[in-house]
Amino acid sequence: MTEIPEHLRKRAEEARAKAAAASGAPGGGDAPAGGGEPAAPSEAESKIPAHLLERSKAAKAKGSGGGAEVSTQVAEPAGGGVATATATAPPPVGVGPGGHTQRLLTVVKSGSIQDVKATPQDKVHVWPHLLVVEFVAALACTAFTLVFSIFVNAPLLELSNSNQTPNPSKAPWYFLGLQELLKWFHPMVAGVLLPGMGLVALILAPYTDRNPSNKPEDRKFAVSLFTMFLMFWAVLVMIGTFFRGPGFNFIFPWNDGLFVEL
């Protein structure tokens, strides 16, 4: 059961005492039998004009009863006294001690307003999770470059001579895929059409695959599309690098050697 604070309990007891004193005072009328609610204070006690009280009761009855009219009855006394007009209206909702209408605050148990529970978040710290992986990847690339430079002879040549074209004349490695395409197709197809179709396909990929997940196993379409594009370009670069010799003719590197120049 919810515990009531001490200050609210004292305030309720004072309100009950005031209501009991008001109901038992002279001119205020006796308390109703059976433990009913005390009568409403008279005009002299409340110091509110009668017409204002009638108007307030009519407004409350109209608001609570869906616009019902307040009926006024005139009671004629038996002894020939003065007639008194009484307005019959439903009692206001939530009448408190002494006939006062007020809203009661909900008593809640005091407690901490801070959330002590940790909210789970989908985050990973940079150290050590990310930096360790990047450091290992950098070591692997360095080791591969070292081993490749030991077994592959790629010396630096002299300054370029515009009167003498080297054979084979190869583009940088990142353009060797395009040079390989120029060997097989028309320049308009190899240099404009096919690269343009690949770029447009990559641009439209986010609009085609609308899966919001960040997990690779849930993005099979996007992963497959990127893998196809990467492997297509990587195969062309490898053919142009290791399988093209003098005259950019197709050779086998284990028979004729490697023609790699920097």
Considering the domain architecture, whether residues 149 and 173 belong to the same structural domain is answered as: no
129: containing domain: 125-154
199 with 229, same domain?
yes
Mean pLDDT value across residues 210-221: 86
Q: What is the pTM of this model?
A: 0.42
Task: Report the 10 Å Cβ neighbour count for 218.
Answer: 12
pLDDT tens per residue, range 162-212: 888 888 888 888 888 899 999 899 999 998 999 899 889 888 888 888 888
Kindly report, residue by residue over 108-128, the tens digit of the pLDDT: 566 666 666 666 677 778 888
Q: Distance between CA atoms of 36 and 75, rounded to whole angstroms? A: 25
Same structural domain, 176 and 208: yes
- At 73 the three-state DSSP class reads strand
Report helix, strand or coil for 123: coil
Among 113, 135, 154, the domain-final residue is: 154
Q: Label residue 44 exposed, middle or buried (CB < 10 Å: 0-12, 13-18, 19+).
A: exposed
In the three-class reduction of DSSP (H, G, I as helix; E, B as strand; rest coil), residue 86 is classed as strand
- 209: in domain: yes
Please check whether residues 169 and 129 belong to one and the same domain. no
**Taken in order 147, 148, 150, 151, is the CA torsion positive or negative?**
positive
- Same-domain pairing of 211 and 190: yes
Return the percentage of the chain with pLDDT > 90, whole number. 16
Instruction: Give the count of domains, the chain.
Output: 2
Cβ 98 vs Cβ 41: under 8 Å? yes
Q: Does residue 11 lie in a domain region?
A: no
For the domain that residue 196 is a member of, what is the CATH number? 1.10.287
| Position 40, amino acid | A
In a domain, 12, yes or no: no
The residue type at 262: L
